[in-house]
Amino acid sequence: MGKDLIEKIKHYEELLVEVLNASQKYLGVISVKLLLERVLWDISQEYKEITLIHYDERGLSIEALAKTLENLPDFPVDEMFKKFFSRYVEILAKLIGKKQAEKIAEQLSKKDQQQF
């Protein structure tokens, strides 16, 4: 896997952790897991590879996804994660309110820009 792709995957992993932790404050641990499962399922309708992201009591792991993407150099990783985060924040806004969801989205955006 190219160095760029490795870094990209790592970056998205960090963003995922960030968003899960931030939303846990409002939803709680169990609902965050359910929300992640739901969004992964939604996005998997277009990008089935995303179901390789794993989340449990021990934490988040995108190792399996990373391994799969090794063999798919042209895979639209950015687009997939963009859709993921967009959908996640969209549903979050419905559950906890637009204002709170926008705060989390802003947090994500800052972290995203810091990296690149």
Partner 1 sequence: MERLITGIKNLDKILKGGIPLYSVNVISGTPGSGKTILVQNIVFNCAKSGLKTIYLTTTSESQFKMVRHLKEFEFFDDNLLENKFIYRDLAAYLRKEGWQKALEYIDQLIKEHGPNIVVIDSFKAIRNFFPDEKEFRSFVFEIAAKLSIWEITVFLVGEYKEEEVTTLSEFTIADGIFHLYGGEERRFQKRYLRILKMRGTSFEQGQHLFQIDSSGIKIFPRIKPSYEELIYEVASDKREEFGIPEFDEMLLGGLKQGTITALSGGTGTGKTIFSLKFIMEGVNKGKRGLYLSFEEPVSQLKANALSMGWDIDNLIEKGLVSFKFISPIEIDVDKHIYEIFDDIEKNKIERFVMDSVTSFEKAVDIQKYEDYLWALIQNLKKRNVTSIFTIMIDNPFSALMASELGISSLFDNIIFLRYIEKGSSIKRILGILKARGTSHSKDLREFEITSEGIKVLGKLDLKEMLK
Applying CB under 8 A, does 38 fall inside the site for partner 1?
yes
Compute, in degrees rounded to 10, the torsion defined by CA atoms 26, 114, 76, 101.
20
- Determine if 86 is a binding residue for partner 1 (CB under 8 A): no
- Nearest distance from residue 57's CB to partner 1, in Å? 15
Quick check: 41 binds partner 1 (CB under 8 A)? yes
Nearest CA-CA partner of 23 in 87, 115, 93, 82: 93
Interface with partner 1 includes 96 (CB under 8 A)?
A: no
Q: Cβ-count burial of 30 within 10 angstroms (0-12 exposed, 13-18 middle, 19+ buried)?
A: exposed
Position 71: which residue type? N
Q: Does 98 bind partner 1 (CB under 8 A)?
A: no
Q: Is 51 in the site for partner 1 (CB under 8 A)?
A: no
Footprint of partner 1 on this chain (CB under 8 A)? 30-31, 34-35, 38, 41, 91, 94-95
